[in-house]
Structure formats: C-alpha cells, structure tokens
Structure 1
Amino acid sequence: MIKPFRIDIPQAALDDLTDRLSRTRWPNEVADAGWDYGFPLARLKELAAYWRTGYDWRAHEAELNQLPHFTTEIDGQNIHFVHVRSPKADALALVLTHGWPGSFLEFLDVIEPLARDFHLVIPSLPGYGFSGPTHERGWDMVRVARAWAELMRRLGYERYGAQGGDFGSGISTALGAVAPEQVVGVHVNYLPTRPDPDAGIALSATDEARLDKIRHLMANRPPYQTLQATTPQTIGYALTDSPVGQLAWIAERFAQWTDPRSPISDERMLTDISLYWLTATAASSARLHHEAPRGSEPCPVPMGVAVFAHDITQSVRPLAERLYDIRHWSEFERGGHFAAMEVPELLAEDIRDFFLTHLKDDHRTATR
C-alpha cells in the first residue's frame, strides 16, 4: 500500500537539538592547524552556532512539504519517496537515487527542469532519512535495486530509466541488472574504474593521471569509509548522540568533495544534516558501506556517464567501455561529487540528452 506522507518533526526533537548544541563540549586545536588534523574548529563552531540560532528547520520543512511525499513497505522495510509527475502524460519515468552523505534533497534543484520531460520517483535509501533505519542484515545495493524495481511496478511504470551518483550509481546499475526488461537505460555521474593491468588498452596521459588518482585512493582508504565499512555501529553511537559530531562528519564531505566554484550553501547542507540527525539514521545509513561490497551484478542496459572535474575520482572511458554498453559520455569542467546540488543545470541537461537521444546518437562526447 502506498500512503501519502507529510514531514512533521516534533517540536521536542528540535528543542533537544538546540539544547544539545548549546552544551557542546569542544576539543582544543593546535595553532595553525588548518585542515591538517581534520575539520577546522573555527569553521565548525560557526556552523554549529548558525544551526542553533539562525537555521530554521520549520521553513525548510514547509518548503519540502510542497512536494508530493509517499511511503510504502517493501521487503519488510519502510520506503519514503517523492513522486513528481510530468505534465506530459506519456513521459518516461526516471528513478533518481542519492548516496551518502546525501538524501533525496540532492535532487531538489533538478526536479523542475527534469519534470518537464520525465515523471520522477526520488526514494530515500533504506536506512536513510524518512525511510527510517533498517533492522536486519543484507540491505546491499542489489537488494535496494530490487526494492526500486518493486516500487516502480507498484507505481505502474512498465519502462523507466535510472540515474544516480555515489551509492546511487551502483544501485542504478544494479537496477539495470535486476530489471533489464523494464530499465531503458542508466545514467550515472559517478562511475569508479579500477586499474586493470591485463586490459591491454593504450591510455591517454589524462587517463593515466586519473588511474594514478584512483590507485592513491585505493592505497589510502579514507578514514570515514574505513569506519563505516568496518564498524558502523561504533561510529553510530557518537553521531547519534552528538549533533556537532554529526555536523562535522558530513560537513567535511561537503567541504572536500565539491568544486570550490560551486559550493553548496550552508542552508542546504544543514537541511541534509538535520535530516540525518532528526531521523537518527547515522548508524543505519553507515551500514550501507558495510553491506555494499556484497552486491554487484553486470549491467546489460545502455549507459550514459557524466564525469565532473572535481569529483572524488574521474572515470576512465576505455576501461568503462569494457564493462558497460556506454552510449553517451560527457566531460564537465565544473562540478564535483554532488553534481545535482552544485551544477543542477548541467546535470539535468545531460540526463535529458541521454534519455531522449541515446538510442539515436551513440558515443557522444561533450565538453562544457
């Protein structure tokens, strides 16, 4: 059963947040630390003070409630989603999937331009936000993809496309694998390509540089990823009990993964962080890092790839083409990991271009 949903955070939860922020126990910081030891103390105090005294959750809640929200239960798990129908009755449907530390909020700025041509289904991942925490093992990317296939079936969509970045990329390709008869194509704005010494492919200097960056990341796994992949419950205690801990944990990712030319506003970032805090989903969202490596299947449907210059890594096309049926490839000089929030106009146009032209215009490469 699909039920309408309205965001209505209890005032007691907002008062508790304010109280906890006012009682923050701050660590010291060495002189001239900068980013050498982690998130700078002065910047975090600035964000915490604004979250406590200037940020207005109720205003953002009212704005979000202008969207059509729903919930349904799939595979024993509550699933929250936004469903926006295009004025074009015969429009193709797209399921848009976020990652960590994002949420359905990532797609707010692409809804209007994409809804002109597509019906949009924007779920919250199991364990994230208004989907609420997961309660059992096994919610890997393939299981999420199967849940999305069931969601789209319940909504009456027989054919649809999938789009995502971060975890949303892996879930979208998994959706193409588990529902190839329904998924017309997959568009991603994050597609890791591992070095393959046996590929026997001549690569450009640019591609070799990208592989060097990937090798560095593989050899130096980010600390947040290690903790969430190995002990998500342990880190979850701190993040669920301390709003400043949750703030630093996510704000650091936004600071480091975005293009400096397209920063995400403090308002939007705090709304995303508030969503994690107010739903107490720090631990359950982190569990996807623990489960994710267990889910992987080949994606047989046509794919479009958007590569953003300031993302964590940049895909190497010759290696990607060995694994996927790439029909569309775009390179962007602006934008980072949160493309839908940073450069929504570029991402929305690339998504539209892929789904409306990819069968007629193979292997396009655009630089913008």
Structure 2
Amino acid sequence: MKMKLMFAVVFSLLFYVSIPANTASADDSIRPFKIAVAQQDLLDLRQRISATRWPDRETVGDTSQGAQLAQMQALMRHWATDYDWRKAEAQLNAWPQFVTTIDGVDIHFIWVRSPAPKALPMIMTHGWPGSVFEFVQVIGPLSDPVAHGGKAEDAFDLVIPSIPGYGFSGKPRGTGWDPDRLAQVWAQLMRRLGYQQYVAQGGDWGGPITGAMARQAPPGLRGIHLNLPATIPPEAGAALAVAGPAPADFTPQERATYDAVAKLIKQGNLAYSAMMAARPQTIGYGVTDSPVALAAFLLVHPGFSLWTYGADPQQLPTRDQVLDDITLYWLTNSGASSSRLYWENKGRSPLSSTAQKTSEISLPVAITVFPQDVYCPPESWARRAYRNLVYFRQAEKGGHFAAWEQPQLFTEELRTAFRSMR
C-alpha cells in the first residue's frame, strides 16, 4: 500500500512539473508590470562584449557581406562602455505597462488611456527586429494630441503589446503561433480591456497580424492602417518566384516596383528571413551566447540599410535608440523565440496579397507608404489587394521603422487615416 501511495505521489508530481509554467494558469487578470533588470545582467552583457572574438575584415567596401567590422567594433565599444540601459528602462517605465495571460502565454503591453473622453482605442503591433520601442515617441502625440499641438477629436487610447516570443511577453512552449492566432489573441486582449470598438495598426510583422485581424473581423474592429501592406499581386509573385521579368501589362510604376523587389531578392537582402523560416533554433545558439552576434544579425535587416551606425546624430533612430532595441532582445533572450514567427508563417510572403488573403478583407483599410521602406507598392496594387481601401498616401519621407524614424509624420498619418473610422 505504501509503495502504491508513493508511486501515486511521484506520478502526480511528474505530471505537475511537466506542465509548462505559462500554460498552467487560467488567470485572466490584468497585472501591472515594471521593468527592473538585475545589475548583474548588465555587467554580464558588457563582459561578453569585451570578450568578443572578432572575425576578419570583410573583403568588400560595402555592406553586401553584412555589418562591416569597423562599424560594428565602434558600435560595440559604445555599447560596452557608454551606453546606459537604465535610461531606456525608465523610458518604458514612464508609461503604464501590464501583463495578462492569453492562451497560456503572458502578453506584455503598454496601455495608455487618453484624457480625451472620445478617444478611439487602437492596438499597434511592432515587427522584427523591432519592439515596443518603435512607438515610444508617438505615444504622447497620439494619446494626448492637445498637449502636442493637435485636436482632441484625434485622440487615441493606445494598446501596444509585445508579440509573444518578443520582449517582455512570454515565449510560447508549443507551435501554432502564426499571424492568424496572434490576431485572435489581440482581439481577445482588446475585449479583456473592455473595448467595444477599436482600430488596429501595424507594419512589418504588424502588417500580417493586423491584416489577419481585419480578415477575421472580430466584433468591434472598425478598420486598420498598414505601413507595410501585402499588395504583391499573384502574377507578380509567380514571376518573382522564377526570377522572371515583370509581366508585360504592368504600368511603368508597377514595373519599377517589381524590379525593386526582384533586386532586393537577388542581392540576398531577404536571406535572413529564409534562415529564420527554416532553422530558427540554429540561429538561437549564436545570438543567445554572443551579444555581438545578436547585434550583427538584427542589423542585417534591410530596414536598417540607410542607418549610419550613429554617425549622424540627427538621424532617427539614434545610436542609443537602436541599442535600446538590441539590448531588449538580449536581456529577454528573444533571439530564437522571435525568429520562430518566421518558421510559424511557413515561408508565406508577408507582402503577397494572395498569401495574406487580402481579398477576404471587407473592413476599411488605410495605407501609408514610406519611400525608404523595403517595399513601396503603387496605389494600383493596393486597390487590387484591398477592396475597401479608404485611404492611400505616399509619404514624403521615412522608411521601414516609420514611427521610429518620422514620429511626427507617422502621427499625422494615423490621425488622418482613421478620421473616417471614428
């Protein structure tokens, strides 16, 4: 009898500890969150940077082989000596942050309620290699426009979550966390916060996630804004797949867009995404052990192609803002977990209208194209992809990280784009 009882106890303990910690609770509470990184973790980061074993110098005079050695060494010296994470930590902690558990995963989010009584709730989604840091400069102008020279009727309540596997959100312990599922989680988050009506915005991975929300059309979602829309038409996608010429019936603008995407692919500027889609765990071993490897890998993104590694102090994002983002990935050990989103998407192009099923979206869609982005679709493709396109504008400046690079312009675009959806 004692033996049977002992076996039962041991079996029950084994069963209990086999349940992943972030799936064991059905807690739907909304819990306040503050960032408080241990000083030892920051010391360890500096020591690892200082102990880096460097590769030999690239054999070309540009970035076609990746981040250049001299630029990286200068950036890493600053990271290891002068950079101050505590300023970034305080910047995020200045805004109300929370965590809630959905589908067994903790979702970290910034939640800023506007003083304006008729503010429009909006959920904003970052991408890779970005984070909630992308939106820090637009939180104030969007949530409190009167205090920033705007009008109260343009105010937003802001919900800015960290994608699971990124930043201070939890890391999924199983598969299936693709943009469709994330869209469902975001809709549940907005319901949990008590919002009956809201809009959504996204670029980079925020594009497919926000697009999936519009396709699923959860109750209360009024419409979306995208700054990296999925508009590549089927015939263009087919031609790009075989490295063929642009379809003959394309207009000059459409042909120029096609050629730009073909060049992007030919030059290997999207190779990082292929690696993450194929072997995210393999990437994790290097970027988890070496902060320099992590920084070099994040900086390979073509959205950083115009960034001067801090050489221009007026350029946004600044050197320290970029390091804020990279440090966030390091401290939260998000190198592998953030890469898995590419694997979960099963190689589907985030820019393809067919892959993203944009034809199924009936909600209002607004689009702003920023001219230095990795992809700048013409309005003709946008209207083909989204049958209820209510707003389209080619901005005069800005790139892939639009809110980071051009916060004032980005703010003005969202105010204008969503006026018809209030």
TM-score by length of structure 2 reads 0.80
Instruction: Output one character per residue of 1:41-77: Cα deviation in whole Å (capped at 9) or x when no partner.
Output: 0110011111100001112212221110000000111
Q: Could you list the runs of 5+ residues in structure 1 that have no partner in the other structure?
A: 360-368
Alpha-carbon distance in structure 2 between the residues aligned to 1:186 and 1:151:
16
Is the 2:183–2:210 contact (alpha carbons within 8 Å) kept by the matching residues of 1? yes
Q: In the alignment, which residue of structure 2 is the partner of 1:19?
A: 47
Alpha-carbon distance in structure 1 between the residues aligned to 2:179 and 2:49:
34
Q: Which moved more, 1:217-226 or 1:21-30?
A: 217-226
Alpha-carbon distance in structure 1 between the residues aligned to 2:266 and 2:296:
24
**2:370 match: secondary structure:** strand
Q: Could you list the runs of 5+ residues in structure 2 that have no partner in the other structure?
A: 1-28, 145-154, 238-246, 349-354
The correspondence of residues 159-174 of structure 1 with structure 2, limited to 5 A, is 159-174=197-212
**1:96 match: secondary structure:** strand
**1:158 maps to amino acid:** Q
Q: In the alignment, which residue of structure 1 is the partner of 2:18?
A: none
1:232 to 263, 277, 280: 280
Larger radius of gyration: 2
Alpha-carbon distance in structure 1 between the residues aligned to 2:98 and 2:140:
19
**1:302 maps to amino acid:** P
Is the 1:258–1:311 contact (alpha carbons within 8 Å) kept by the matching residues of 2? no
Distance 1:102 1:198, change over 3 A: closer
**2:130 match: secondary structure:** coil
Identical amino acids, percent of aligned pairs: 42
**1:285 maps to amino acid:** S
**1:333 match: secondary structure:** coil
Q: In the alignment, which residue of structure 2 is the partner of 1:122?
A: 160
Deviation at 1:279, TM superposition (A): 0.3
Is the 1:149–1:179 contact (alpha carbons within 8 Å) kept by the matching residues of 2? no
The correspondence of residues 50-199 of structure 1 with structure 2, limited to 5 A, is 50-116=78-144, 117-197=155-235
1:256 to 285, 289, 305: 305
Alpha-carbon distance in structure 2 between the residues aligned to 1:132 and 1:59:
23
Q: In the alignment, which residue of structure 2 is the partner of 1:316?
A: 378
Aligned residues: 359
1:289 equivalent to 2:327? Answer: no
Is the 1:132–1:281 contact (alpha carbons within 8 Å) kept by the matching residues of 2? no
Deviation at 1:135, TM superposition (A): 1.3
Instruction: Output one character per residue of 1:243-294: Cα deviation in whole Å (capped at 9) or x when no partner.
Output: 0001111123353166999542011000000000000011010001111247
Instruction: Output one character per residue of 1:68-89: Cα deviation in whole Å (capped at 9) or x when no partner.
Output: 0000000111100000001112
Q: In the alignment, which residue of structure 2 is the partner of 1:271?
A: 324
1:35 equivalent to 2:63? Answer: yes
**1:269 maps to amino acid:** V
Instruction: Output one character per residue of 1:211-242: Cα deviation in whole Å (capped at 9) or x when no partner.
Output: 22223445665221111010000011100110
Alpha-carbon distance in structure 2 between the residues aligned to 1:109 and 1:313:
24
Distance 1:145 1:135, change over 3 A: same
Is the 2:373–2:399 contact (alpha carbons within 8 Å) kept by the matching residues of 1? yes
**1:270 maps to amino acid:** L
